[in-house]
Amino acid sequence: MRFGIVGAGAIGCLFGARLRLAGYDVTLVHRDPSIVQAIQKNGVNLQEIDGTLTKVRLPIRKGPAKLLGAEVLIVAVKAYDTRALAATYRGRIPSETTVLSLQNGLGNVETIQSMFKNEVLAASTTEGAFSLGPGYVVHTGRGLTLIGDTRRSNSDTCSRVKIAFDRAGLKAKTSSNIRGVLWTKAIVNAAINPLSSLTRLTNGALAKNAEIQEIARSAVDEGISVSHAARIRLVGDPRKLWRRILLSTRANKSSMLQDIERGKMTEIRQLNGAILSHGRMTRVKTPVNEILTKLVLGLEESSKTT
């Protein structure tokens, strides 16, 4: 299988490096020329959980780029870049290429589907990855990647991608309810990411704080209510998953906190903001998610000026 990966951040580099080490043809694409140059010069440095460091040579091109021959194009950009990326790549992706969204948040798949006639799949991963710089990724925790088609229950491509990920040491399963998987993860992230960003606490510290637990529980309950109103069948209980994820990633900082510390935009609009938006459409009140959205948007502004 030949893969193209748009987005050379932590997840893009982790999956790209692992797939390449497993013998697959992989090409990275990134829009930042400085990151492209760094990876062209130094390759991708993959630091495994046990501390082992492996340098992986991966072809990388500055985007937007045509990826003729790629059977699967993995979209691994931030959720807020999805619409612009889809608009940029219209006409650049062969009709036979499958597009796989490997992103956080809600709305990514729908955005891609609205602009492409290609087969579009979705994936949700709990693999932990942290970027130490251009092309330098630390694999912070093993997880599970679920892959599915939001339009039909079975897809041959899903099974083939699952096999490729497994061979690359990235445990994967196919799901007949990937939409429910995406919603469950978004609800859990909406009760972790903004709270860690606002308090600057690690995941483990969040789990120990009674006041934080109370706010998180309210955010999760709102998300569950909205999902029910939207007729989404969740996969797993977000209430239980919230604590389980925090305890299994105790030392980690959430991706949103990392973005705030770097003065970058966050995915708050595609997490709590999406729950708020769906709540308005389904007439479900989501006051906690609304407050968290507004607070993090304010934090984004303050981080740009400091």
Cα–Cα nearest to 251, from 153, 108, 128: 128
Candidate list 162, 185, 285, 304, residue with the active-site label: 185
185 has catalytic annotation? yes
Secondary structure letter of residue 169 according to DSSP: T
N-terminal to C-terminal alpha carbon distance within the chain: 45
Contact 35, 6 (CB under 8 A): no
23 phi/psi in degrees, rounded to 5: 100, 10
* Sheet of strand 98-102, all strands in order from the earlier edge strand to the far edge: 60-62, 25-30, 2-6, 72-75, 98-102, 120-125, 145-148, 172-174
Are 158 and 148 contacting, i.e. CB atoms less than 8 angstroms apart?
yes
Kindly state the greatest CA–CA separation across the chain.
53
Instruction: Tell me which residues are annotated as active site.
Output: 185
